[in-house]
Amino acid sequence: MFFDEYNKAKESYQNKLVNNVENETKYTTVSGQKINPVYSPDDISNLNYVDEINYPGEFPFTRGIHPNGYRGKIWTMRQFAGFGSPKDTNERFKYLLSHGQTGLSVAFDLPTLMGWDADAPLSQGEVGMCGVAVSSLKDMEILFDGIPLDKVSSSMTINSPAAMIFAFYLAEAQKQGVAFDKLRGTLQNDILKEYIAQKEFIFPPRPSMRIITDMIEFCTNEVTQWNPVSISGYHIREAGSTAVQELAYTLADGFAYIEACLERGMDIDNFAPRLSFFFNSHLDFFEEIAKFRAARKIYSKRMKDKYGAKNPRSWWLRFHTQTAGCTLTAQQPENNIVRTAFQALAGVLGGTQSLHTNSMDETLALPSEKAVKIALRTQQILAYETGVINTVDPLGGSYFVEYLTSKMEDEAEKIFTEVDCLGGVINAIEDGYFQKEIANSAYKYQKELEGKEKFIVGVNEFVEEDEKVDIPILTISPEVEIQQRIRLAELRQSRNTDAVRNSLAQIGDAAQSGKNLMPVFIDAARNYVTLGEMIDELKQHFGIYEESIVF
């Protein structure tokens, strides 16, 4: 009886549809996935709800890793912060904590990201400009002055020099008297996505993978509450990928790290529970939610079925979300507050564990205090006023969302097959596969904007002529670089030169012998060896990487 009534209703609806093929092409997701006018049980008839969807907290975790979602604990509100000198950023950290932020997230300047000291020739004009300048343990001491490291969770967005920056952090913890196993936080430390998208690499891929494997091994044994790598799709998406590419490339990178650790002889259930992920929340609301749900499903199946993980926590895909910086506009910047709110909502409805909301002024400068506060308040309004925390996966069972989730999984599996055929992630990087695919997707999207097939409010539609932007802008004084250079010169004069020389020799020996590098990095940090000095020592043994890809 039910199916008879359903089929009648379906036929009636289809008869009412206007078949305008010319207009149908505009109804796609941001990534180009065609969207039907309506979804029904027919569209998800291939899904087995008992085996595939199930309930939150149950394998394959499509609906979330925790059975009670945010009813037990809301996501961590972790605003990305860092600018100028370590003292400047320390003050911003304390400001954010005083206004209700529940975790710290450190942005570093370009010299630090590239492994250059503040007084290096290539650092000139960039010190403190896009994040905080950190060249040694002395800077880390100032950065976390008055902030007990056993009381906060810290995230650090750094990749090629992540091991040395983490060594500074661990040395600072020792100075505070905090045991390593009391530290909580995350390092991005995802070098593979640097070759794919962000391009802040130093060493070639294979020795870089060795360093990351050392860090995962060290943290598994010593820093047991720390996430040693946050496999990042964020920058892949910012470079112009589609949602499916972001999903598949990110998970492929994660599987490459897992396989490297297994080759080292590590037990998967010892290290996998501390791996985490980092995704972009872009403009297409439902596509992003489906992406997060599909990521959990794919990951849990692989961890259980391919890699043989036995601990259910090893099956969990835990992830941080940041709203999409590439969607922010310099035109009508207040609109960015609205964009960010919708993107944050998608992250929450997708089940994120922590969230960063971008500030409205980030296309113009580093965020001002006012803009940062609005971004934080956006999360707080979302958590405490909208009711979205009251039930788990409220869109579960939506024909549209379940269809998109399944479609995401299918398309990602096709990409995994392509990568495998190329010989794995590193071979695919060296062949330029990822870079070419992302470039093609970015080009296609740009052409759609230029042809007004897609709209950005204030940019290619609803434009205001002679617009005047009237919001406060944060500026970085040139004095920051001058003082950083002075402080670094004083450090070089005051430290024990023999200890520095001995530390660098130990780093070289470990690089050659295959010994885990983390203990020697920590010893070097305590002896105030600088970031640039450690990097330069490793360059002698690992070389430097120069991308030479022609499309």
pLDDT in tens, 132-167: 999 999 999 999 999 999 998 898 999 999 999 999
- Stronger pLDDT, 72 or 5, i.e. the higher one: 72
pTM over 0.75: yes
- Of 36-50, 104-118, 418-432, the poorest mean pLDDT is in 36-50
Contact residues for 538 (Cβ-Cβ < 8 A; gap 6+): 203, 507, 511
Which whole number is the average pLDDT over 275-280?
96
Which whole number is the average pLDDT over 338-359?
97
- Of 9-18, 36-45, 221-230, 336-345, the poorest mean pLDDT is in 9-18
Query: What SS3 state is found at 391?
Result: coil
Query: What SS3 state is found at 90?
Result: helix
- Stronger pLDDT, 102 or 36, i.e. the higher one: 36
Which whole number is the average pLDDT over 245-272?
98
Which whole number is the average pLDDT over 415-443?
96
Per-residue pLDDT at 538: 98
Q: What does each C-alpha distance from 278 to 247, 343, 354, 362 come to in angstroms?
A: 10, 14, 9, 20
pLDDT tens figures, 7-62 = 777 677 667 765 555 555 578 999 888 999 999 888 888 765 444 558 999 999 99
Per-residue pLDDT at 50: 44
Q: What does each C-alpha distance from 372 to 102, 142, 471 come to in angstroms?
A: 14, 22, 13
Residue 472 has pLDDT above 90, yes or no: no
Strands (E), 18-164: 76-77, 80-81, 104-107, 153-157
- Contact at 8 Å (CB) between 109 and 129? yes
Half-sphere exposure of 30 (CA within 13 A, CB side): 23
Six-digit token string for 14:
């289809």
Strands (E), 315-376: 319-323, 354-356
Q: Would you say the C-alpha torsion 478, 480, 482, 485 has a positive or negative sign?
A: negative
